Amino acid sequence: MVIRAYRFALDPTPRQARDLARHSGAARVAFNWGLAAVKANLNQREAERSYGIDDHELTPVLGWSLPTLRKAWNRAKDEAAPWWRECSKEAFNTGLDQLARALKNWSTSRDRHRAGRKMGFPRFKTKRACVPSVRFTTGAIRVEQDCRHVTLPRLGLIKTHESTGKLERRLTASTARILCATVRFDRGRWFVAFTVETAPAMKTPRQPDAVIGVDLGVRHLAVLSDGTMIENPRRHDASRRKLAQTSRAVSRRRGPDRQKGQRPSNRWLQANAARNKIHHRVANQRRDGIHKLTTMLAREYGTVVVEDLNLAGMVRNRRLAIQIRDAGFGEIRRQLTYKTQWNGGHLIVADRWYPSSKTCSGCGAVKLKLRPAQRTFSCTKCGLVLDRDHNAARNLAALAAAVAGSGPERVNGRGADRKTAQRAAGGPEASIPHPAAYAAGIRREPVSVGGYVLEIR
């Protein structure tokens, strides 16, 4: 059994939309109340400690776990939120659970027990900045048999914008069980996501023995090793003129000013909604295109090879930052990770320092320099002339032979914390053999070829 999520767009009535906003606001109130209580407790103990009071005589510590915060909320909810009966208890539990997770993340990050970037101490949520959401774990949570309605606690029957048949069929066949439902306001509309425990279906790609190398770029969104070039739609560039027009309209209206306590005018709200609508459309188009691309790759090929790109460093280039963010390289990598597993394939992630663009896919010669403006790769040894991205994709596909039948996936998915390995004199280019020679060293463990680590997903 695996845990999956099924996400559907909702079409609530105006009254149901107000109820959803009320429940998400209740979660924000509970979060802020719990954070204020925790900070007050910490400040009180720190003040008492400054007066020389012994630790055993200090104010008792307010626990950061969800059960402790929930007990404290039940004792203070009549005073903190006299209207608490208007919302489901799950709304307040959502805010307290978010606070407990945030405090735990900060504590483990401070003690260096948590991987990833350093987490800061939780901050209060504002109505404008936070994303409205509420999670339901108990009560009437079901998908109706007409595949057009869902039922949620205290909210009742809500119409969906799209069919829920793919989840309803699994529930009817007793191959799935709903664990919880999360309602979230995202990109201008409400969505519901059902967390479901289900049995995965055994699938096989159409070409289980085929290997495809995928080179991501800005000029072409993806270039495959078989020569297929997928154009970059550049959704943001297509809507840049409309965004400029709506942004100028917003700047002419009277907007909000928190320092002066000024509220936005109705015309500013209308102009801002028009601008947000364009942003939402661009994001939806980008997401739809990426889903279609990754689904095609995962269903068609048994092995997909991609590069481990340094996106944080790439976006520092002010000339290409917008285009790189608009392409969504990180989202493509993330979707390929789980879609290849769902379809019975493998994802191989080449080391980010592997010179796929500088290596000749014909003879294996490595160029010392290759400027980004040079879009055609010309080999001085074998005379191969090929598109730069196509040559890189062919080199990535050749790497798959080195890890055929190797062990399970590596723990470090990004591979960014590996220090540069020691190599022979003459630089990394002089120590990289031809990719076709990797096939002779097939092993049953994760492979390091020429100092470059390959990962299997």
pLDDT tens sequence for the chain (457 residues) = 889 999 999 999 999 999 999 999 999 999 999 999 999 999 999 999 888 888 888 889 899 999 999 999 999 999 999 999 999 999 999 999 999 999 999 999 998 888 888 899 999 999 888 999 999 999 899 999 999 999 999 999 999 999 999 999 999 998 999 999 999 999 889 999 999 999 888 889 999 999 999 999 998 999 999 989 999 999 999 999 999 999 999 999 999 888 888 999 999 999 999 999 999 999 999 999 999 999 999 999 999 999 998 888 888 988 889 999 999 999 999 999 999 999 999 999 998 888 888 889 888 888 888 888 888 998 888 888 999 999 999 999 988 876 654 433 333 333 333 443 433 334 333 334 444 444 444 333 444 444 554 555 5
Residue 149 lies in a domain: yes
Domain match, 374 and 434 both = yes
**Spatial separation of the C-alpha atoms in residues 343 and 299, rounded to whole Å:** 6
Residue 241 lies in a domain: no
Nearest to 117 by CA among 106, 103, 125: 106
Instruction: Quote the tokens at residue 347.
Output: 């994802």
Domain match, 410 and 445 both = yes
Residue holding tokens 């500088």? 358
Q: At 182, is the secondary structure helix, strand, or coil? A: strand
Angle formed by the axes of helices 14-50 and 89-110, nearest 10°: 40
CA dihedral 235, 238, 243, 245 (to 10 degrees): -170
Domain match, 80 and 147 both = no
Domain match, 156 and 66 both = no
Domain match, 86 and 167 both = no
Domain match, 142 and 60 both = no
Q: At 159, is the secondary structure helix, strand, or coil? A: strand
- Which contiguous run of DSSP H or E holds residue 277? helix 266-300
CB distance 389 to 427 below 8 Å: no
Residue holding tokens 């509420």? 134
Under DSSP, the state recorded for 428 is G
Burial class (CB in 10 A: 0-12, 13-18, 19+), 250: buried
Largest Cα separation within the chain, whole Å, is 82
Domain match, 320 and 363 both = yes
Domain that holds residue 386: 207-231+283-456
**How many other CB atoms are found less than 10 A from the CB of residue 447?**
20
pTM: 0.79
Give me the sign of the Cα torsion angle 56, 60, 61, 66.
positive
Residue 277 lies in a domain: no
Domain match, 226 and 373 both = yes
Total number of domains in the chain: 3
Q: Which residues are catalytic?
A: 215, 307, 389
